[in-house]
Chain A
Amino acid sequence: MLDALFVRRWLVAAADAVDREAERLTELDSPIGDADHGSNLRRGFRAVAAVLEKEAPDTPGAVLMLAGRQLISTVGGASGPLYGTLLRRTGKDLGDAPEVDPARFAQALRTGVDAVAALGGAAPGDKTMLDALVPGIDALDNSPGSFGSFGAAREAALQGALATTPLQARKGRASYLGERSIGHQDPGATSSALLFAALAETADGIRGSREGSRD
């Protein structure tokens, strides 16, 4: 079961990953964006990690709502409202359940991904975050109820991000570049893959500690 602590660990792991990869994200955002994706997300996720240290909401939904709100108010670029909406809608969907199973969590995450699509008006294939988020969430759904599905989601989201390279951008600033956007990996899909990687890392940690505690 996933509880508030699991979600906090996930978001802290995501903040660490964004911190580590910020320069690479900004590099990816240089040829087709405005070269601030890494620094913007780093600022947002540092704020998330800081607020989660101070406040400790006791349900997964409340942790996600708090984190999403931080992203909307601190990122400063389009990824703020998009990732903020992803976390808030996921949290809202979970309601005040103290813990949820992986299948329920995956279902809520899909609600969040759908809200991102509605907010940005994008669909898979447009060379956006959704090109990693949608395969990731589909992989979670393919083996519902299993912690192992998080590993499959990590791989699917990563492959989704890599597959944005030959696409032509149809949303956001990159879309103004037309064919010149082809040949570059999308920074938003890349950061979305990091979120799924952090989720898998957190699930692995939980499984590891459970196996350890059986001794």
Chain B
Amino acid sequence: MTDGPLVGIVLVSHSGAVAEAVAALAVALAGGGSTAPVAAAGGTADGGLGTSAELISTAAARVDGGAGVAVLADLGSAVLTVKALVAEGDELPDGTRLVDAPFVEGAVAAVVSASAGADLAAVEAAAAEAYACRKV
């Protein structure tokens, strides 16, 4: 835990509505005071279904406070676009990572832990841990 800047979270979905709703849900559940910066990057730039590299880069820049950025993605092109941008090297802020986690549960875990001051590795671990939480 640290008193410095908080890890930023970017939620990339194939749908703008899904990204916005999951961001609102995660922030609401993190509740109680200030939360880590969260940005939604869903759908294409013109509001359609799909993925926009530009929306993702803009969102990552917006939540970057210097402590790193954890990106969660949902389906196909969302995952591939983030991976391609990370591989580019200069399209996303330093310390941006695609986190391997279920989208909704991982987003809640990431926002809650980042808001509590966890570093990027701890945020990533918290989000990934959501895979281990079986439902049946």
- Bound form: Cα–Cα A77–B80 in Å: 9
- The residues of A that contact B88 with a CB separation of less than 8 Å are 69, 72, 88
B51 contacts chain A at the CB level, 8 A cutoff: yes
A73 near B53 with CB under 8 A, answer: yes
Q: Is B76 an interface residue (CB 8 A)?
A: yes
Q: Do A119 and B77 have beta carbons less than 8 Å apart?
A: no
A78 & B76 in contact (Cβ 8 Å cutoff): yes
Distance in Å: Cβ of B104 to nearest Cβ of chain A: 19
**0/1 interface trace, chain B 85-112, chain A, CB 8 Å (1 if under):** 1011000000000000000000000000
Indicate if the CB atoms of A173 and B76 lie closer than 8 Å. Answer: yes
Q: Which label, helix, strand, loop or mixed, suits the secondary structure of the A interface?
A: helix
A81 touches B83 (CB 8 A): yes
Q: Is the CB of A85 within 8 A of B44?
A: no
Question: How many residues belonging to A are interface residues under a CB distance threshold of 8 Å?
Answer: 19
B85→A72 contact, CB < 8 A:
yes
Looking across the interface, which residue of chain B has its beta carbon closest to that of A85?
B84
Is A80 part of the contact surface with B, judged by Cβ < 8 Å?
Answer: yes
Q: Is B113 in contact with chain A by the CB < 8 A criterion? A: no
A81 B50 Cβ-Cβ under 8 A: no
Interfacial residues of chain A within 71-121, with CB under 8 A of chain B in the complex? 72-73, 76-78, 80-82, 84-85, 88, 119-120
Which residues of B, 46-89, contact A by the 8 Å Cβ criterion?
48-54, 76-77, 80-81, 83-85, 87-88
For B77, give its contact among A73, A77, A85 (CB under 8 Å).
Answer: A77
Residue in A80, A120, A172 whose CB lies within 8 Å of B51: A80
- Whether A119 contacts B50 in the complex (CB less than 8 A), given A76-B44, A77-B77, A172-B76, comes out as no
Q: Say yes or no: A76-B80 contact (C-beta < 8 A), given A85-B87, A88-B88.
A: no
Say yes or no: is A16 at the interface (Cβ < 8 Å to chain B).
Answer: no
Q: Min CB distance, B59 to chain A, in Å?
A: 14
Q: How far is the CA of A120 from the CA of B84 in the complex (A)?
A: 10
Q: A73 — which chain B residues lie within 8 A by C-beta? A: 52-54
Does A164 belong to the interface (CB within 8 Å)?
A: no
A36 close to B (CB within 8 Å): yes
A192 CB within 8 Å of chain B: no
For the complex of A and B, the 8 pairs showing the least CB-CB separation, nearest first, are A81-B84, A76-B50, A78-B77, A81-B80, A73-B53, A76-B44, A78-B76, A81-B81
Can you name 14 extra interface pairs (CB under 8 A) apart from A77-B50, A80-B81? A36-B50, A72-B53, A72-B81, A72-B85, A72-B88, A73-B53, A76-B50, A76-B51, A78-B77, A78-B80, A80-B53, A80-B84, A81-B84, A119-B80
